[in-house]
Structure 1
Amino acid sequence: MRALALVLSLLAGPAAAQTCGGSFSTFVNELRAEAVNRGHQRATVDGFFRGTRRDPDVIAADRRQGHFQLNFIDFSDRLIAQYRVDNGKYYANQLDSLFDRIEARYGVSRGVLLAFWAFETDFGQVQGDYNTRDALVTLAHDCRRPDLFRPHVFAALELFARGSFDPDTTTGAWAGEIGQVQMLPEDILTNGIDGDGDGRVTLKTSSADALMSGAAMLSDLGWRADAPWLQEIRVPDTLDWSLTGLDQPRPTSDWAAMGVTARTGSLHQNLESAVLLPMGRKGPAFLAYPNFNVYFEWNKSFVYVLTAAYFANILEGAPRFDPGNPDPGLSGQEIIALQEKLVARGYDVGGIDGIIGAMTRDAVQKEQVRRGLPADAWPTRDLLDAL
């Protein structure tokens, strides 16, 4: 994530000797020493790290993200419950003036923020009860993704030094996110905004602060103001499926020439776009515009990102997507078997985890092309059997 020059200078510093793993107490002591080397007062460092403990529940939560193994239709059906649609429309009306300010300042549409707000915390109602400091230190100590979480430990320390973070009482999600739209400490340092004008940035209790800060973060990540992100489309049976996929954008005029049409309205002109077939050529189809890529800076899961972007459309009046009649997918264990076979053939699937992520889709598509199959990046039993 981007950080202001001042913040970067505070967060920069020499790497600790123990980057992850080993004795937890030794790890924390080395974090303390590194914090002092970065210029923090020893009393501040002691106050922040006092009582830090490894939280096994955080590790357990990190390991059990099985819901990302669901296909797009099942995943979106689970997340886009009718009460979220109803509440989203209610808050869009109740906070109309706030969203007007956000759209004028950042060009981020209200549907986008409402969808994140709904999925992350059910509009602020479920923000998580994990101790944030302990969660961040636990995940920095764990050797699965230490480089992701270690900077946020020192960002939380900086927030503490500024008087806006209590290490003993600040709680949030298991992965260290805080507040109604779930922002990590480094993002709060960079993009925390006082949206309600009370002189403080309180992302847990102020919807205005949370939504304005979320918009600021999206803008900082490269969101194009007042531009589209996702559109449902109709694709002809004659489309060259090997041209589809997020990594193959082309002008919308090219897609139109190939017979792609919008399900409602018309295609957005003068923009690069990519055809997405989350469940293959017989399932739902979307056109992803440049803003769609920014979603991956918020969450790396393809199925989450697509669902969040599509839900934003619903909250702004789009109909439910046409599910089509996709070929049956694979179970989690079958996807793992498929990934193992693809890796054995030299493909990089981004990890053998039973999740059909972007890299697995790319590998599937390339193998489909190699075998002369419809290259729609949707793994089926026929492909698994062929492998």
Structure 2
Amino acid sequence: MRILPILLSLALASPVAAQQVPCGGGFNGFVRGLVDEAVSKGHDRATAQRFFAGVQQSAAVLKADRAQGIFQSGFIEFSRKLISQNRINTGRAKAQQWNSVFDRIEREYGISRGVLLAFWAFETDYGAFQGNFNTLNALVTLSHDCRRPELFRPQIFAALTLYEHGDFDPATTSGAWAGEIGMVQMLPEDILTNGVDGDGDGHVLLKTSVPDALMSGAKMLSHLGWRPNEPWLQEVVLPDDLDWSQTGVQAVKSVRDWDSLGVKPRSGRFLRSDLSGSIIIPQGRKGPAFLAYPNFNVYFEWNQSFTYVLTAGYFATRLEGAQVYSAGNPEPGLSGQQMKQLQQRLSAMGYDVGDIDGILGAKTRDAVRDVQQRLGLPADAWPTPALLARL
């Protein structure tokens, strides 16, 4: 479960910054400082020295950190890339294979199996690709690099605690370049807080134990605020005269109010008419449309990419039998370079769009919606070449 990308969606270091001596000083001295800090936190010195004895700085981790990508694709393109029939078939087979574990999760946490299956699929392809970066090397390297020590340094001492429990081997524990471990990709601190011994062997081993991984992922979701036995996403059909400025995650109405405004489920009935929700139209009023229930907001607690989150939530519904969404006929969007031009123009107009990164993030969407209203256009927060030309 990739909690970390929430915090990693930052501006990449400049080439000049990448060549500077890390603020952590010499690497060996930095590691000695970690041992001293571990002792100050109550760890045994000899244990800490064994834990850090073989740690090495990793150039591969720094390269991966500098080159991290950000989702620039639209929802339709991105979801079609990630969701294949093979992934759906495998997910349904895994649901059967581990049915007793999912039953336990549903009893104890009220979390539907499709939700965890979707993350299991997207994070590691159901455990097949968990990453081969040495976790301790990654965490120490990124802490020594000093760009985000507040992020990584606490994870080092959490890993030390896991080592003391017999659940972390500094020589062999591996995972993603940013320190996440296991089938659902959790950081050491999150494993300490939410790790569950799902198979009863006395250890929490997210790399090799499916019950441990799924139960830990479920506890994490519960810890983040998942409301038991409630839905998260449902495809809907929208009326042509909807007030488009009321769409987006920031606009919440009761499901009954949406119903009275002409919003209808694409099939069947509303999953919970007694709840509230937001209308999400990722590619404007002519594209796909979804009703996001309160649990959908929990997805943003582990990844802030709107496109990734919506795709994960939608895939979870597909794994539980939902039909393929109606793509509609959305207006053409902007290229990455055009999006940067739009952001520059919006920024010059006084809008806070965050970084000029070519990404249609929440701040850019809000600015687009406001400009559309000012220009008398449908305020669906979907920027088009025509809007760019108007600006």
**TM-score, normalised relative to structure 1:** 0.91
Counterpart of 1:234 in structure 2 is: 237
Q: Does 1:94 align with 2:104?
A: no
Q: Is the 8 A contact 2:22 2:145 kept in 1?
A: no
Q: What is the aligned residue count?
A: 371
1:1-387 equivalences in 2 (<5 Å): 23-66=26-69, 68-267=71-270, 268-387=272-391
Q: Is the 8 A contact 1:20 1:146 kept in 2?
A: no
**In the aligned structure 2, how far is the partner of 1:247 from the partner of 1:301?**
16
**In the aligned structure 2, how far is the partner of 1:350 from the partner of 1:196?**
45
CA shift in 2, pair 1:65/1:355, >3 Å: farther
Alpha-carbon deviations, 1:292-314, whole Å to 9, x = none?
11111121211111000000000
Q: Is the 8 A contact 1:180 1:210 kept in 2?
A: yes
- RMSD of Structure 2 on Structure 1 (CA): 2.0
Residue 156 of structure 1 and its aligned partner are, at CA, apart by 1.1
Gaps of 5+ in 2: 5-20
Shifted more, 350-359 versus 305-314: the winner is 350-359
Residue 360 of structure 1 and its aligned partner are, at CA, apart by 2.1
Shifted more, 107-116 versus 58-67: the winner is 58-67
Q: Which amino acid aligns with 1:296?
A: F
**In the aligned structure 1, how far is the partner of 2:42 from the partner of 2:369?**
50
Residue 389 of structure 2 aligns to a residue whose secondary structure is helix
Counterpart of 1:8 in structure 2 is: none
Alpha-carbon deviations, 1:296-341, whole Å to 9, x = none?
1121211111000000000000001111111111111222222222
Q: Which amino acid aligns with 1:53?
A: Q
Gaps of 5+ in 1: 2-17
**In the aligned structure 2, how far is the partner of 1:368 from the partner of 1:345?**
13
Q: Which has the higher contact order (CA 8 A, sep 6+)?
A: 2
**In the aligned structure 2, how far is the partner of 1:344 from the partner of 1:146?**
33
CA shift in 2, pair 1:273/1:144, >3 Å: farther
Residue 233 of structure 1 aligns to a residue whose secondary structure is strand
**In the aligned structure 1, how far is the partner of 2:54 from the partner of 2:283?**
48
Q: Is the 8 A contact 2:166 2:203 kept in 1?
A: no
Alpha-carbon deviations, 1:218-253, whole Å to 9, x = none?
011110001000111111111111111111111111
CA shift in 2, pair 1:27/1:382, >3 Å: farther
Residue 45 of structure 1 aligns to a residue whose secondary structure is helix
Alpha-carbon deviations, 1:256-298, whole Å to 9, x = none?
1111111112222121100111111111011111111111112
**TM-score, normalised relative to structure 2:** 0.90
Q: Is the 8 A contact 1:20 1:27 kept in 2?
A: no
Residue 299 of structure 2 aligns to a residue whose secondary structure is helix
Alpha-carbon deviations, 1:329-366, whole Å to 9, x = none?
11112222222222233322232222222222222222
% same residue: 63
Q: Is the 8 A contact 1:113 1:214 kept in 2?
A: yes
Q: Which amino acid aligns with 2:305?
A: S
CA shift in 2, pair 1:263/1:354, >3 Å: same
